[in-house]
Amino acid sequence: MDILVYVPPALFGVMAIAFFVLWRLKIATSWQWSAGFAQTGAGFGFSAFPISPGFDAFVSGMIFIGAAYCYSSAILLHFNAPMRRLERRLFVLAYTLVHTYIVFVTADLRDELFLTDVSFACLLGLALYVVTPKTSRPADKILVFSVSIVFLDTLARAIFFYFFMNTSDKLADFVTSDYNLAVHITTITICIMFPFAALGAMASAAIDRHRDAAERDPLTGLLNRRGFHKSLNRMFETRELRGAVLVCDIDHFKQVNDRYGHTVGDQVILSVAQELQQATSSSGHAARFGGEEFVVFFPAATLRDAAAIAQLLRVSLSERSWNHIGMDHGVTASFGVSAIEDQETSVLPAIERADRALYSAKTSGRNRVVAASPTTSPALLEDDHLSEELVVGVRG
Ligand code: GH3
Ligand code: MG
Ligand code: MG
């Protein structure tokens, strides 16, 4: 037991420093991990360096609840879940009142330990209840599993020692109690998994964030060229290469910048991007390839489907008012569409064909849709013809 009492404060102290550094480096998204581990280490410190029984019981109880509050905050933040701050704070307040009464009025060690353990478990249990349905990454599942272990360990110990063990009820006997030995043993063996699981979940989330930043356009949030190809490659690992491509370029966009400034230009780009994103819904992959040029891939769509969608987008864009951003004239865009052919092994030839069709749309007057296919040269499809014939072919 002598050496054992130094292990948790040392372990959690190191974890607190490590998580603090990770938070400063912006790898950890919340400081609450570090605060939780620091408090757990400090709480265990009272077993290694006791001061006086009443003071130790009161302060260590408050510290453990503080740690549970921080852990629950860190977990909820990690999963982007509702923080339930009011409920958790009221809970901590209620704990504080009862805990103060037990320590300073009844001075009953068994009640104090039971209350603190059950309250600690409740705060973790609430976080687990909220986030468990939200876990998808393997590292997050490991985190939830390890928090569940801490939750069960705390609850099981509370029940076991309160109902089945005949331990002393004097605060002064805590340091030498079987309970204290049990806490140290389970903490060092099974609960220590928790900080490592938190570390793994944080690293996994940080990697995802960086990957996302590298694959997305910061202005519109659409995929960038690299993200578009990666996302398509991932999709085609498991399904047949089929679908249609739409490329879109805003007409005379330079004039928008020249007349209204770059900020207004950015807002136009953003609005067009949002329109494209809506049109693709969850099935399509919309990307900003550069400047004011966008590419959208529709899996399983035919040339006819893509042309019909492009036509709807073209009309919707040309009819839009831009008064709200201070522009008193309209914006139009030109579209090229193409479909992946049977023998093709990549989406690139279809993008090239759609690009040529776009060029054709630009040279034949802009504000129009041109559909290309490898068997025929880019053919201008008249707008009326498109709306009557091709809209019929749109799939959901
Ligand atoms: P066209 O109808 O032939 O497409 O003419 P255009 O003026 O749209 O074509 P061009 O490619 O010559 O001009 C595109 C302009 O887009 C040039 C560039 O300054 C502007 N641009 C590129 N990226 C951004 C951006 O992120 N924000 C803003 N505001 N403008 C951008
Ligand atoms: Mg343009
Ligand atoms: Mg352009």
Look at ligand 1, atom 15, and give the residue with the nearest C-alpha.
254
Q: Is the pLDDT of residue 228 over 70?
A: yes
pLDDT, average across residues 98-109:
96
Q: How far apart are CA 66 and CA 61, in angstroms?
A: 9
CA of 291 to the centre of ligand 3 (A): 6
Q: Is the pLDDT of residue 232 over 50?
A: yes
pLDDT, average across residues 106-130:
96
The dihedral sign for the CA sequence 60, 61, 65, 66: negative
Buried b (16+ CB within 10 A) or exposed e, 183-214: bbebbeeebbbbbebbbbbbebbbeeeeeeee
Question: Residue 344 phi/psi, 5° resolution?
Answer: -80, 145
Outline where DSSP puts E strands in the chain.
Answer: 243-250, 285-290, 293-299, 333-339, 369-371, 379-380
Q: Return the ligand 1 atom nearest residue 266 CA.
A: 29
- Strands 333-339 and 285-290 come out as unpaired
Look at ligand 1, atom 19, and give the residue with the nearest C-alpha.
254
- Summarised one tens digit per residue, pLDDT across range 46-66 is 878 889 999 999 999 999 999
Residues with CB under 6 A from ligand 1: 219, 249-254, 257, 262, 265-266, 269, 291-292, 362, 366
- Summarised one tens digit per residue, pLDDT across range 303-331 is 999 999 999 999 999 999 999 999 998 99
CA of 256 to the centre of ligand 2 (A): 10
Entry pTM: 0.74
- At 18, which helix (H) or strand (E)? helix 7-24
pLDDT-based confidence at 284, cuts 50/70/90? confident
| CB-based contacts of 267-271 (< 8 A; 24+ apart in sequence) | 267/325, 268/292, 268/322, 268/325, 268/327, 268/331, 269/219, 269/220, 270/219, 270/220, 271/320
pLDDT, average across residues 162-182:
86
Pocket test for ligand 1, best of 248, 253, 271 (most atoms within 8 A of CB): 253
Domains along the sequence of the chain with CATH: 4-212 (1.20.1070), 216-390 (3.30.70.270)
Both tokens assigned to 168: 């002393």
pLDDT-based confidence at 378, cuts 50/70/90? very low
CA of 250 to the centre of ligand 3 (A): 7
Q: How far apart are CA 175 and CA 158, in angstroms?
A: 17
Geometric angle at alpha carbon 286, from 131 and 207, rounded to 5°? 45
The CB-side HSE value for 220 (13 A sphere, CA atoms) comes to 28
Q: How far apart are CA 365 and CA 382, in angstroms?
A: 12
CA of 217 to the centre of ligand 2 (A): 18
Buried b (16+ CB within 10 A) or exposed e, 234-271: eebeeeebbbbbbbbbbbebeebeeebeeebbebbbbb
Q: Return the ligand 1 atom nearest residue 263 CA.
A: 29
CA of 306 to the centre of ligand 2 (A): 20
How high is the pLDDT of residue 166? Answer: 82
Q: Return the ligand 1 atom nearest residue 265 CA.
A: 29
